[in-house]
């Protein structure tokens, strides 16, 4: 039987809440052309000459305020998602692997592991419900870079996004309803999404539209709430 795997990919996190780890993480993250699209000859001197001299110490303090005994909350919850999905697939031979675009476990390392295991069918699932070139596009780039060196390229299914998937919307609705049952109905439910530069959207990144689709679905499913 051909070996099949699911690769979950999230953004990433520093390995520790200290200045050196944060600097290493930010250097990788902010060097990605999908994240900062300025020419490298212009951007890298700013990044290494100013930002990475100032921001890591300040950001490390913020990371420390949310750090847990088990490490970064992001990696902690991502591991739990990986374990939960593996349990749901326990009656199959499908492996669930976790990777991060930046930091560890690295995307390239995870794909190298799958290559050594001779995976022939690979489903890549970015853990971003709404597509953006700055997130999902970056994962696509990373997957393509790694697969370029493979002679035995696997059958590949890449999930672009799922902003209106019924199960995703149902999960959001359930969380809101749980909150309302416990705390009462709020005056207004404010939905907050990560932002991208306006010029990215004007150049074709449809992230704002994907967020709007999710918002509209929630409004339909929760008509009694004022949602913005």
Q: What is the pLDDT along the chain (228 residues), one digit of tens a residue?
A: 689 999 999 999 999 999 999 999 999 999 999 999 999 999 999 999 999 999 999 999 999 999 998 889 999 999 999 999 999 999 999 999 999 999 999 999 999 999 999 999 999 999 999 999 999 999 999 999 999 988 999 999 999 999 999 999 999 999 999 999 999 999 999 999 999 999 999 999 999 999 999 999 999 999 999 999
Note the pLDDT of residue 69.
87
Give yes or no: residues 14 and 43 share one domain: yes
Give yes or no: residues 78 and 27 share one domain: yes
Residue that finishes a domain, picked among 121, 144, 161: 161
Question: pTM of the entire structure?
Answer: 0.92
Work out the number of other CB atoms within 10 angstroms of the CB of residue 119: 21
Contact 8, 96 (CB under 8 A): yes
What is the rounded CA–CA span in Å between residue 58 and residue 14?
14
Is residue 226, in this structure, part of any structural domain at all? no
What is the rounded CA–CA span in Å between residue 7 and residue 158?
10
Contact 122, 23 (CB under 8 A): no
Give yes or no: residues 37 and 64 share one domain: yes
Which CATH number does the domain housing residue 96 bear?
3.40.50.1400
Give yes or no: residues 183 and 114 share one domain: no
Contact 78, 4 (CB under 8 A): no
What is the rounded CA–CA span in Å between residue 8 and residue 114?
13
Closest Cα partner for 209 from 221, 222, 193, 225? 193
Is residue 150, in this structure, part of any structural domain at all? yes
Torsion of CA 199, 56, 138, 47, to 10 degrees: 60
Is residue 228, in this structure, part of any structural domain at all? no
Is residue 51, in this structure, part of any structural domain at all? yes
Strand, coil or helix: 154: coil
Give yes or no: residues 9 and 24 share one domain: yes
Give yes or no: residues 36 and 122 share one domain: yes
* Structural domain count of the chain: 2
Give yes or no: residues 40 and 147 share one domain: yes
Residue that finishes a domain, picked among 161, 184, 210: 161
Note the pLDDT of residue 149.
82
Is residue 125, in this structure, part of any structural domain at all? yes
**Cα of 140 vs its chain's centroid, Å:** 12
Structural domain including 187 reads 166-221
Note the pLDDT of residue 1.
67
Contact 228, 190 (CB under 8 A): yes
Is residue 28, in this structure, part of any structural domain at all? yes
Residue that finishes a domain, picked among 116, 135, 161: 161
């Amino acid at each position: 039987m051909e070996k099949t795997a699911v690769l979950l990919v999230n953004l990433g996190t520093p390995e520790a809440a200290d200045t050196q780890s944060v600097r290493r993480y930010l250097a990788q993250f902010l060097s990605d052309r999908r994240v900062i699209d300025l020419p490298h000859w212009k951007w890298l001197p700013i990044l290494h000459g100013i930002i990475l001299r100032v921001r890591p110490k300040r950001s490390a303090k913020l990371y420390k305020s949310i750090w847990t005994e088990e490490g970064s909350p992001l990696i902690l919850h991502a591991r739990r998602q990986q374990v939960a999905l593996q349990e749901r697939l326990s009656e199959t031979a499908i492996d669930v692997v976790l990777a991060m675009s930046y930091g560890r476990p690295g995307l390239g390392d995870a794909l190298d592991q799958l290559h050594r295991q001779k995976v022939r069918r690979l489903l890549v699932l970015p853990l971003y419900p709404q597509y953006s070139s700055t997130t999902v596009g970056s994962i696509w780039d990373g997957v393509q870079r790694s697969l370029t060196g493979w002679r035995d390229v696997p059958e590949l299914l890449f999930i672009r996004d799922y902003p209106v998937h019924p199960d995703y919307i149902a999960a959001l609705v359930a969380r809101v309803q749980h909150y309302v049952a416990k705390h009462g109905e709020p005056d207004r439910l404010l939905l907050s999404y990560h932002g991208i530069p306006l010029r990215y959207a004007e150049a074709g990144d449809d992230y704002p539209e994907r967020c709007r689709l999710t918002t509209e679905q929630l409004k339909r499913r929760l008509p009694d709430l004022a949602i913005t």
